[in-house]
Structure 1
């Protein structure tokens, strides 16, 4: 099928106003937001209903036209842009953005996949409830993409990944059939839990069009603090103490290196250093309680930190006394990705190891970086409560432009660090997903039997490899 035929059919199925075929109009959808991954497509299609998605997939599957789903295009792994073939479509669900129901009595909400994450948070809050998924891109990422990548974020330590927030899904399969699994039950033991096949599948098995999500009571008390420490060992030790001291109340536990902290302040707007002297390591901690007051919760947090102050394990601490101060602390954390892009070429590694082994990883990774790539500065930020570190090798733009074999450097460096994580029982991909970038690592670090099972699942749902080919599953492309 040539591009003209694909475009004509998409206009028939979705309407002319919902199809972009001009190169300039398509351009923002064919490159990722970090400007590192590009692709080519016949057109970009904006579906407005599940019926349209069904017709589009059925036709593409029969015609041999590949489909690349796209949400807010905030992927950092090349998973939200097409390949280079050109005879494919981008299917974007941004116009399917209705919040259909917020049920406070059932602690659930039912939404379309194109809803912006921040809008879901606001809708839950308006109903005196909490939708706890939160991450730096929440103002632009869509819940369909969050589901497809099983997004993590800063509240995983208390509420889990996106997978843990899903009650039910509606999914359009590659052949156009619609599976309606939109349930809001907490217990349903009637056969295979099919929804979990699609959460984290990155659109390779079908397209999530609607979701039923869990809500929680809105917190009545919040306490937020940023701690300063001299060593990563002290930071992790304090984090483990806080997890033990505040079970059920600890919702955020973030680790930030001095290098990352300085970058965020340097390139951010309306940023303020809360410390008189910047510590070598920082821990951003947040507590939330369903009862009581914020002042009392902050007092409890202060009391729990006192022994570490007396032992000089904590060198400084800033405890937010109002919502503006809380927002200022979180702004430093949430701005790191944009700030890193302004600083230089940061090669990010989304690893996870058992939390108590974070100091071991930081030490070994730092030694490997110093030996093989002394031009790079280690920049570290991560969700310490669940062992997920974003370990970034930061090169200057000038140095990186001069590197001839960029892909070779990236692959060698990544495997240096992934080998260390694997040796500690960790993973090379904790929350960002696989996309196109990490498919080679799947064959290196995943068990052969596990890869074979994934290929079999892909073949059952998508035997023609219509959906997001070249992503997630090694060797799945036809």
Structure 2
């Protein structure tokens, strides 16, 4: 784009969005040009902040006419660089944070229509005021937006019972790459008019369109919960405990997280207020959440105690504690939620978000950890997360004394390739819940089967022939060396 065209585009964009809707102020833009992990930094022609869907549609149509790339952004809390522009400075950074309204609540149907900029914690709080809840949560709930969660098909700690974001979306509204608006907000139980277009957009990371609003499914507010923290000898025992809990507790089982001793020690060291819940050290820990909607919560407490007694009798649990109140329950969950920040504070590491078939995860953790620690001398594997979903966060810590930044730059690519090779051999995915973004795009091209790549590229070309929607993210280029 030459300078005259450049100026014409910015002038038209400013007229479309108004004074609040467009800025080129470097200081205001700077925080949004770097990803949450600090790995990617880019530049943008401007930061656009539309106030409604009509403004988004007009802006996208304008970008299509001027061939201006668009990088949509929610809370900028993604893990794969999917919302960061490249360094060219030719892209428009599009923030949906001003679009933060609840358009409609239907308590009887347990549905809410909310805009893409609504923060997850805000949704939780608003639902609670109506004796309802949105059954998806994660550590970044204070900054993650609904649009971002949809675009990456986010998971979190309640997927075991409720599924990923894909399962919570009953309908959505999105602006397509030509500026047209797709409206599927109606929460239809049956609709056989061809492809499920909302599902096509969920998880597409802004490469096919911009989600502007969604109809979300809600659940009744829980009346009671039991939170258990247990020490176990191995991941295999944790898996057997999960199967026992599923059989005994059924739908009451809402969360099941595994934590290795290494990760717990990081949290205890870097979070001064944290305390070890158990008196003795254990190789692994399990955090279990059980819930009820029954006003009489006594049966849940009795069933939880019986579950632990059975687990102890079977030798699946070495020791355990049950939170006596909400304060203790939140303290136990804080140990799990604090792992990511504690691991960052601990030192350099190469981090991965992977999945394999759930029943194979215990053996994968053991065998992959041993293989990688043997191959990369001095490293330590740390795997934690959602065992019941077959999804763990798999980190490889740097050797003692390694310099942060330098070590990752030198070893990171080889380590990630080795991890992804193992995951692929075990029939898994290199991205379980954080998206492909720009970080894993080349690895997707290297490891994905040809049919998957053909479909990804074909859909992208069909919906975004100009290639303006979040370029360089998710979809590998057919001409890239890795995709050859």
TM-score, structure 2 length as denominator? 0.95
Question: Is 2:121 the counterpart of 1:118?
Answer: yes
Deviation of 1:328 (Å): 0.5
Q: Conserved in 1, the CA contact under 8 Å of 2:9 and 2:62?
A: no
Cα distance between partner residues in 2 of 1:27 and 1:19: 14
Q: Which residue is 2:474 aligned to? A: 472
1:428 maps to 2:430:
yes
1:473 Cα offset (Å):
0.7
The 10-residue stretch of structure 1 (42-51 or 10-19) with the greater mean CA deviation from structure 2: 10-19
Question: Do 2:175 and 2:181's aligned partners in 1 also have CA atoms closer than 8 Å?
Answer: yes
2:227 is aligned to: 224
What SS does the aligned partner of 1:253 have?
A: strand
Question: 2:177: which partner in 1?
Answer: 174
| 1:237 correspondence with 2:263 | no
Q: Distance in 1 between matches of 2:212 and 2:289?
A: 33
* Cα distance in structure 2, aligned partners of 1:67 and 1:460: 17
- Cα distance between partner residues in 1 of 2:23 and 2:69: 17
Structure 1 residue 311, shift from structure 2 partner: 3.8
The TM-score normalised by the length of structure 1 is 0.96
Give the aligned partner of residue 369 of structure 2.
366
Partner of 2:421: 419
Distance 1:231 1:168 in 2: 42
Q: Distance in 1 between matches of 2:432 and 2:345?
A: 24
- For 1:101, the equivalent position in structure 2 comes to 104
Does 1:284 pair with 2:284?
A: no
What is residue 53 of structure 1 aligned with on the other side?
56
Asked whether the equivalents of residues 436 and 473 of structure 2 are also in contact (C-alpha less than 8 Å), the reply is yes
For 1:181-196, list aligned pairs within 5 A.
181-196=184-199
Report the Cα distance in structure 2 between the residues aligned to 1:157 and 1:38, rounded to whole angstroms: 35
User: 1:102, 1:123 within 8 Å by CA — same for their partners in 2?
Assistant: no
> 1:441 pairs with 429, 443, 463, which one?
443
Range with bigger deviation, 70-79 or 287-296: 287-296
Answer yes or no: is 1:147 the counterpart of 2:150.
yes
Q: After the TM superposition, which residues 10-409 of structure 1 pair with which residues of structure 2 at under 5 Å, given as runs? A: 10-395=13-398, 399-401=402-404, 403=406, 406-407=408-409, 409=411
Report the Cα offset of residue 6 of structure 1: 4.3
Q: Quickly say closer, same or farther: Cα 1:269–1:64, change in 2 above 3 A.
A: farther
Give the 3-state SS of the residue equivalent to 1:171 in structure 2. strand
**Is the Cα–Cα contact under 8 Å of residues 13 and 62 in structure 2 kept in the other structure?**
no
The farther-off stretch of 268-277 and 69-78 is 268-277
User: Which shows bigger deviation, 321-330 or 394-403?
Assistant: 394-403
Deviations 1:224-251 (A, max 9, x none): 1111112121112111221222221111
CA contact (8 A) 1:259 1:378 kept: no
Distance 1:102 1:398 in 2: 54
**CA apart distance, 1:270:** 2.7
**Consecutive unaligned residues in structure 1, runs of 5 or more:** none
Can you give the 5+ residue segments of structure 2 that lack an aligned partner in the other structure?
Answer: none
1:271-313 CA-to-partner distances (Å, cap 9, x unmatched) read 2221112321011111112215334312211211213213433
Give the Cα separation in 2 of the matches to 1:293 and 1:344. 47
Structure 1 contact 469–476 (Cα < 8 Å) conserved? no
Deviation of the 1:361 alpha carbon: 0.9
Are the aligned partners of 2:106 and 2:112 in contact in 1 as well (CA < 8 Å)?
A: yes
Contact 1:344 1:396 survives alignment (8 Å): no
Would the aligned equivalents of 1:224 and 1:298 in 2 still touch at CA under 8 Å? no
Q: Please tell me whether the aligned partners of residues 228 and 280 of structure 1 are also in contact (alpha carbons under 8 angstroms).
A: yes
Q: Is the 8 A contact 1:253 1:285 kept in 2?
A: yes
Contact 1:458-1:476 within 8 A present in 2 as well: no
The match for 2:458 is 456
Contact 2:352 2:395 in 1 (8 A): yes
Deviation string, structure 1 residues 333-371 (Cα, Å, up to 9, x no partner)? 112222222111221111111222122111221122222
For residue 250 of structure 2, give the secondary structure of its aligned residue in structure 1.
coil
Distance across 2 between alignment mates of 1:151 and 1:401 = 28
Q: What is the RMSD computed on CA atoms of the aligned residues?
A: 1.8
Q: Is the 8 A contact 2:9 2:66 kept in 1?
A: no
Conservation of the 8 A alpha-carbon contact between 1:343 and 1:396? no
* Residues 1:422 and 1:273: Cα distance change in structure 2 (over 3 Å): same
